[in-house]
Amino acid sequence: MFLSEKVGMSYDIDKDGYVVSEKLSFEDAALKQVVPMLKEIDVHPYRWTRITVPVNFIHKPLKLRMPPGFGWLVNYMEIEKSFLMYDYLTWKLRSYKMKLNLDNENETIKKTKKIIDVLFLEMLSKETSMPGWKWFFVRFLVLEFSHCVLAVRDDESKRMVDAN
């Protein structure tokens, strides 16, 4: 479950994104199973159950490419917390991939990507309710066609305010 009711962020024209002004945390006991993989990409869940997007992370929702059709099935305003967390986790994975010069076929990349996708779906299920048919398609798109989120961008190193 998310530990915040609302996402605290404001748009910064110079940074071309939303600067997170309040921590956003998601907590779930099931995270304990995947902590070693998350730690590999520099995500360190608090007490092995809580993931937090830090203050000063720059959320760039327009640059996070989702599978075709995803935007027709979900209301981005309704899934704002899940989408911010997904942006943060995929950024951490892309940064890890870039730092070690790995490709998408690397086992660590593939396994961690799957973990992040499943976490995203878990967050979505807790943040929004959608009819079963929509949920079927959203799940299918995220698990089968979200590889586009692994495309490294030229501004990856500038996703934290203090890094700019």
The domain total for the chain is 1
Instruction: Report the range out of 93-102, 142-151, 155-164 with the highest average pLDDT.
Output: 93-102
Residues 6+ apart with CB under 8 A from 122: 28, 30
134, part of any domain: yes
The 10s digit of each residue's pLDDT in 20-45 is 999 999 999 989 999 999 999 999 99
pTM of the complete model: 0.92
99, part of any domain: yes
75, part of any domain: yes
109, part of any domain: yes
Q: In terms of residue numbers, what domain contains 76?
A: 9-163
1, part of any domain: no
Residue 164, pLDDT > 50, answer no
49, part of any domain: yes
The 10s digit of each residue's pLDDT in 78-102 is 899 999 999 999 999 999 999 999 9
Cα–Cα dist 27/21, whole Å = 19
124, part of any domain: yes
138, part of any domain: yes
